[in-house]
Amino acid sequence: MLTPVADGVFVHRSDLLRNNTVVVQGAEGVLLVDPGITGAEMQCLADDLRDLGLPVVAGFATHPDWDHVLWHPELGDAPRWATADAASFMRDLRSQPGWRDRVREALPPEIVDEVPVEPFGLLTALPADATHLPWDGPSVRVLAHPAHATGHAALLVEGCRVLIAGDMLSDVFVPMPDLEGAADPLADYLVGLDVLAGVADEVDVVIPGHGSPGDGTGLRERLTRDRAYIEALRGGGEFRDPRIDAPEPGWEWVGDLHAGQVEAYARRRAGEADAAG
Ligand SMILES: [Zn+2]
């Protein structure tokens, strides 16, 4: 089901991981951001769009994590844009022998048989100097930033004042810095939040990759809360965060994810101290 969140902007939401696919209406069809997770969900989305007579004319993947780079043949073969870093990450993965098996191993077992593997991660790099998505529709600004994953970008649908945040600013997930890949993941995360804060005055609706959309005030609250989380992780302070202390039913496991991050960061620090002798 497509739910309108702003003029010409819709959300298609999945129960699994509560992920939000965003649909932006253009002149001849739609832009599809992070198309979804299960085969049934993408089929439902394709059916909804066909009923509305709206072909997919462009796709966008906010970052190269598995739940943001899936695709379904029924959605057609429009270019699926991503930052150059995200596209090259996926190109590397797809060029390795046995990549299809590796993708299947990485997918949750409950969806592995229904998700088409062939179009997984087939992304087209945006030109290096692109500030906006090359498509025939409302102006969409690309906000590439470090924080959660290599090649991550949020999108700002300028006229509609909608911020599509990818895996940032969730009300159900705590911030997930790139603790494995980045040289300075927490500093990076704060830079990412600054990039998003920099457009806060231009936003009336924020749509996270997972969770509930928020308004402009909600955006500022999420920025503050996520900054506090990262500061606590960095300083070893106390976490006061509703996503850990009072998760929604079914989301208690975010507490484990959080505990894992605290451990992973402590291990990193210990490794850095050893290296420094
Ligand atoms: Zn992610």
- Run means of pLDDT, 10 residues per run, the chain, 277 residues: 94 84 97 92 93 96 95 96 97 97 92 90 94 97 97 97 98 95 94 98 97 97 98 92 92 94 92 82
- Separation of CA 149 and ligand 1 centre (Å): 7
Angular region, 155: left φ>0, alpha ψ -120 to 50, beta rest: beta
Q: How many CA atoms lie within 13 A of 72 on its CB side?
A: 21
**Which single residue is written with the structure tokens 């090649």?**
151
Residues with CB under 5 A from ligand 1 (ion): 65, 167
Residues in CB range of 104: below 8 A, 6 or more apart: 112, 117
- Separation of CA 198 and ligand 1 centre (Å): 22
Token pair for residue 215? 């308004």
- Separation of CA 51 and ligand 1 centre (Å): 30
Angular region, 235: left φ>0, alpha ψ -120 to 50, beta rest: alpha
- Separation of CA 211 and ligand 1 centre (Å): 13
Tell how strand 124-125 and strand 80-82 pair up.
parallel
- Separation of CA 215 and ligand 1 centre (Å): 22
Token pair for residue 99? 């990549």
Overall domain count for the chain: 1
Q: What is the pLDDT of residue 237?
A: 83
Token pair for residue 82? 């991503």
Q: What is the pLDDT of residue 111?
A: 87
Using DSSP's 3-state secondary structure scheme, residue 108 falls into coil
CA distance 260 to 174: 12
Q: What is the pLDDT of residue 201?
A: 98
Q: What is the pLDDT of residue 155?
A: 98
* Domain containing residue 65: CATH number: 3.60.15.30
- Separation of CA 209 and ligand 1 centre (Å): 8
Q: What is the pLDDT of residue 184?
A: 94
What is the total residue count of the chain? Answer: 277
- Separation of CA 121 and ligand 1 centre (Å): 13
Task: Name which of 102, 65, 67, 61 is nearest 84 in CA terms.
Answer: 61
Using DSSP's 3-state secondary structure scheme, residue 100 falls into helix
Task: Name which of 170, 271, 158, 180 is nearest 213 in CA terms.
Answer: 170
Determine the structural domain holding residue 185 and report its residue range.
2-276
Q: What is the pLDDT of residue 38?
A: 86
Using DSSP's 3-state secondary structure scheme, residue 269 falls into helix
Handedness of CA 96, 112, 85, 58 (dihedral sign): positive
- The answer to whether residues 62 and 154 touch, using CB atoms and an 8 Å cutoff, is yes
Q: Helices (DSSP H) in 52-167: which residue ranges?
A: 84-95, 99-106
Other Cβ atoms less than 10 A from the Cβ of 215: the count is: 12
